Amino acid sequence: MKNTALHPNDGKLALAHIAVGYIALFLGAIAGLLQAFVRSGTLELPAGIGYYQLLTAHGVLLALVFTTFFIIGFLYASMSRTTGDLTPFAKKAGWIGFWLMTIGTAITTVMILLNKATVLYTFYAPLKASPWFYIGLTLVVVGSWVSGAGMFSQYAVWKKKNEGKPSPLLSFMAVATMILWIIATLGVAVTVLFQFIPWSFGLVDKINVLLSRTLFWYFGHPLVYFWLLPAYMCWYVIIPKIIGGKIFSDSLARLAFVLFVLFSIPVGFHHQILESGITPFWKFLQIVLTFMVIVPSLMTAFALFATFEISGREKGASGLFGWVKKLPWTDVRFFAPFMGMLVFIPGGAGGIINASNQMNQVVHNTLWVTGHFHLTVATTVALTFFGISYWLVPHLTGRTLTPRLNKLGIIQTVFWCIGMFLMSGAMHTVGLFGAPRRTAYTTYGDHPQALEWMSYQTIMAVGGAILFVAILMILYIIINLAVAAPKGTEEFPVGEVHEDAEKTPLLLENWKIWIGLSVVLIVIAYTVPVIDIIENAPSSPGFKFW
Ligand code: HAS
């Protein structure tokens, strides 16, 4: 494993991805700020801009574009750091993937700005966008596949040179994340290529709505783990080094990632619990599998506590919680991801509530769900990605994280947590009072129930405004780290496994078994209901309500 900076060409590839990711973050955040004010009734949009148009831009740019670009940049950097300089093939694939994704993003964004694709990030049929919106999204997915091929080849070259050895943990995790992503995106590729594109071009009149939604959620749930796993890479491998400790167990970390490959895909029906046309048995089966996919997160929580506690005790901590004091609270590289972990405790608990059949009847399609994903993806994942950026960006640009920027990062994290506490807390609460999600400002003719929601929606707007300030702060820090911070060497921290950990069984790296089992589970969970949907679900013409 290299200890020096990445090869400059590898660094450029990672940096290009991260730069596009942060531009998307900025644009998506502007949409977010405006929509929070519209929804609270404090702002009317000028120039014919629609609330749902903003909501689409916000969801696509943040949930799909920021995440995917940042993740692929980070995974490429991790591969180069732990398996050596990228091979010419891996680099070429990385750049082709990058340009396909960038062109796709540009097409999609233009369509949203032209108000030709106001279909939200889930693009549910029968809402019908311009075909170019779907073509843009296809390019993003195809681009990510090409990048994935580059990473797989890099990994294969390393394995060939190091036969019989387990691959570096960070690269193993990058490969597992891309395997999960590719299996998952097959679902969205099928619905976009065979349903949405022909339908939006007018080649067919109608679309099987239930089939399109089922294929979307086949992709939509593993999508959330595609966001989460790079954060877990940081928690398992990077954080131990930053806190001056060791990785608790290499095998446990690998097993957790394998379990995500197995269980994160055949569970999409938990987003469709209230959807008619799927029989209860198949929903029940997928809910059982959903509870299986909670296990690797519980394992992760266990491993993190163990890492923190062992490291604290090795530094002389005593008592039940003495180790907490030994954590480096003033180091933003630790503090930001740690706050992400902390928030994932209520965030994950909310997910378990969502997945419980009876509870889902209460929360489905309410602002509770919006609150859930602002804790999970928009705090746990986003804060961890910021935490990674604080050292990765200067590592790639040959600069250093100064004490001033570190302090600003801590303040940024605190702002983020306060903003999100207000916004997501209000969303969860008002969701329990029945306030629907995906809805513009309305008092429903001054209905008393709807009037009760208004004060919460104002709190959401206050939280949103604080979050926007935090976005400006992170952008200021990132730009500084990229172009203005003092020249120097910033470490790419990679932890070592604790000497007391068990030896890693090579079985964990037998992808044939894990991919094979994953396919078997998918076939069991989806074949019968999908045949039923193809045969019996009615088709619908398209609608454009905006
Ligand atoms: Fe979710 C809806 C169920 C996790 C994102 N989810 C969504 C949507 C998004 C999303 C975006 O079953 C909305 C989609 C839409 O637009 O309609 N979710 C779950 C479950 C989990 C879960 C069971 N979700 C996530 C993650 C996301 C995410 C992660 C993004 C990154 N979700 C649902 C369901 C719905 C749903 C239903 C549909 C609702 C509906 O009706 O529409 C689980 O994976 C959660 C397991 C997590 C844990 C927490 C482990 C805690 C850890 C931290 C440890 C902390 C430490 C620090 C060590 C069990 C690892 C402490 C240290 C100290 C010193 C104290």
pLDDT tens readout for residues 162-176: 998 999 999 999 999
Buried b (16+ CB within 10 A) or exposed e, 27-57: bbbebbbbbbbbbbeebeeeeeeebbbbbbb
Q: Residue 18 has which token pair?
A: 């991260």
Query: Among the options 39, 221, 270, 333, which is catalytic?
Result: 221
The count of residues in the chain is 546
Residue written as tokens 């790296």? 509
| 428 neighbors 357 (Cβ within 8 angstroms) | no
Below-50 pLDDT ranges, the chain = 3
| Minimal-distance CA residue to ligand 1 atom 56 | 341
**Which of ligand 1's atoms lies nearest the C-alpha of 232?**
60
Tell me the per-residue pLDDT of 349-384, one tens digit each, with 9 for 90 and over.
999 999 999 999 999 999 999 999 999 999 999 999
- For the chain, the maximum distance between any two Cα atoms, rounded to a whole number of angstroms, is 71
**pLDDT on residue 545:** 87
| Whole-angstrom distance, CA of residue 102 vs CA of residue 525 | 34
* Spatial distance between the Cα atoms of 6 and 16, rounded to a whole number of angstroms: 14
Please give the full DSSP string across 198-250, using - where no structure is assigned.
HHHTTSSS-EEHHHHHHHHHHHHHHHHHHHHHHHHHIIIIIHHHHTT--BS-H
Question: What average pLDDT does the chain have?
Answer: 95
Enumerate helices (H) and strands (E) in the chain, giving the number of each. 18, 2
Given a contact cutoff of 8 angstroms between Cβ atoms, the answer to whether 238 and 230 are in contact is: no
221 is catalytic: yes
> Which residues surround ligand 1 with Cβ inside 6 Å?
122, 224, 227-228, 270-271, 290, 293-294, 297-298, 300-301, 304-305, 324, 341-342, 344-345, 348, 351-352, 354-355, 360, 364, 369, 372-373, 376-377, 381
Report how far residue 287's alpha carbon sits from residue 485's, in angstroms, rounded to the nearest whole number: 49
- Centre of ligand 1 to C-alpha 238, Å, is 22
From residue 450, give the alpha-carbon distance in Å to each of 39, 428, 435, 446, 456.
Answer: 13, 16, 7, 7, 11
Given the residues 372, 399, 428, 498, the one annotated as active site: 372
Sequence-ordered list of residues with C-beta below 8 angstroms from that of 535, at least 6 positions apart, any chain: none
- The preferred substitution site among 354, 361, 362, 439 for testing ligand 1, maximizing ligand atoms within 8 Å of CB, is 354
C-alpha dihedral (73, 77, 80, 82), degrees to nearest 10: -130
**Catalytic residue list contains 270:** no
Of the residues 121, 213, 224, 304, which should be mutated to test ligand 1's pocket, given the most ligand atoms within 8 Å of the CB?
Answer: 224
Cis peptide bond upstream of 240, omega within 30: no
For residue 372, indicate whether it is catalytic.
yes
374 flagged as catalytic: yes
**CA–centroid distance, residue 161 to ligand 1 (Å):** 39
d(CA 242, CA 311) in angstroms, rounded, equals 11
By alpha-carbon position, which residue is closest to atom 44 of ligand 1? 294
437 is catalytic: yes
Q: Is 39 a catalytic residue?
A: no
For residue 541, report the distance from its CA to the centre of ligand 1, in Å.
34
Q: Which helix (H) or strand (E) holds 540?
A: strand 539-540
CA distances to 258, 358, 500 from 496, rounded to whole Å, are: 20, 44, 12
The amino acid sitting at 46 is P
Choice from 369, 370, 417, 428 to test ligand 1 binding pocket (greatest atom count within 8 A of CB): 369
Mutation test residue for ligand 1: of 370, 376, 427, 428, the one with most atoms within 8 Å of CB? 376
Q: Kindly give the distance from the C-alpha atom of residue 376 to the centroid of ligand 1, in angstroms, as a whole number.
A: 6
Give nearest CA residue, ligand 1 atom 40: 364
Q: How far is CA 215 from CA 138, 190, 194, 266, in A?
A: 15, 8, 11, 11
Protein residue with least CA distance to atom 63, ligand 1: 342
pLDDT for 4 equals 57
